[in-house]
Amino acid sequence: MANVHRIGDYQNNGQGGNYYQMGNQESQLNMGRLQQMRVPFITSGNRYQGDPRKETFPQMLKLNLCPSLKLFSFTIFIILLNVLIFVSMCTQGINKQGQLLEIRIDVLDEFGANNAQKIQQKYQLWRLFTAMFLHLNFIHILFNSVSAFILVSVMEYTYGTLYVIIIYILSGIGGNLFTDMFSSVIIISAGASTSLMGMLALFVSYMVLNWKSLEFTGQLRCMFVCITTIIIIWVFLLSSGFSTKSGVDNFGHLGGFITGLLAGICIPKPFQQTDYEMKAKFISGGLLAFFLGLMLILFYTVVKL
């Protein structure tokens, strides 16, 4: 007969649930190592330690969507900054014939949207940076804010604030430059999606950089590979499956993902340092410099606007 337990059976002397310490000693040891390695989306910084039956709805949302979120963090800062800039743009001009709170093109351009023609002909390179903080309409900033709550908070817990800031900015710049490479007409683009794709790519980077460190997980690494494969397929489908008339910056997403993938391998410190990790960092660093440098050179020598 099966040995069935209730959740309450795992309470310790009535002091709250010990829900995460189930299994044999080896399983608990491996889980402890995973927690120490801070594997993205697998482990989290804050876990509910009380009786699960007393967990509130807000606690459930936080634990399932952004368990590592902290009030004083880069995640909260970047979301508030994006919202403040969006509100400022709304006060300057809204397209009443467009979508909900859709910002006028001239206002976006004035605030520093990604404009390939001005970047190439007037050398306004700062637009590659400022464009990642601008959004086109209410739905745009809402979707990106929710994504930032989930992706940036998880990666900030895993990598630390400094690494996340660097890779977030690099991914945004790389994605915007990749968009400009394929601008056959004058196109204004904006949004944090390029940077958020870089945050998503960090999960793949983590698996590559710490592959040998995860050997103790055994078959669990296969699950990591499956998740990584799904992420890659999803990104490529997103970048090629939509029409260019849909308003989705597919090239920006792909460029941000590639930049974040390479930066996520060469910049953060691996959990252990062997020849494998050092070679991975060296190769990815060279590829990142080549990727960004080649795009910049081709944009100013080959791309005609």
Cite the active site residues. Answer: 193, 253
**What SS3 class is residue 302?**
coil
The full length of the chain comes to: 305
Q: Are 151 and 240 in contact (CB under 8 A)?
A: no
Please tell me the distance from the alpha carbon of residue 189 to that of residue 199, in angstroms, as a whole number: 19
Please tell me the distance from the alpha carbon of residue 101 to that of residue 97, in angstroms, as a whole number: 10
Please tell me the distance from the alpha carbon of residue 163 to that of residue 136, in angstroms, as a whole number: 28
Please tell me the distance from the alpha carbon of residue 213 to that of residue 275, in angstroms, as a whole number: 12
- Bridge-based pairing of strands 188-189 and 114-115 is antiparallel
State residue 218 phi and psi, 5-degree precision: 65, -120
State residue 124 phi and psi, 5-degree precision: -85, 65
Q: Are 291 and 232 in contact (CB under 8 A)?
A: no
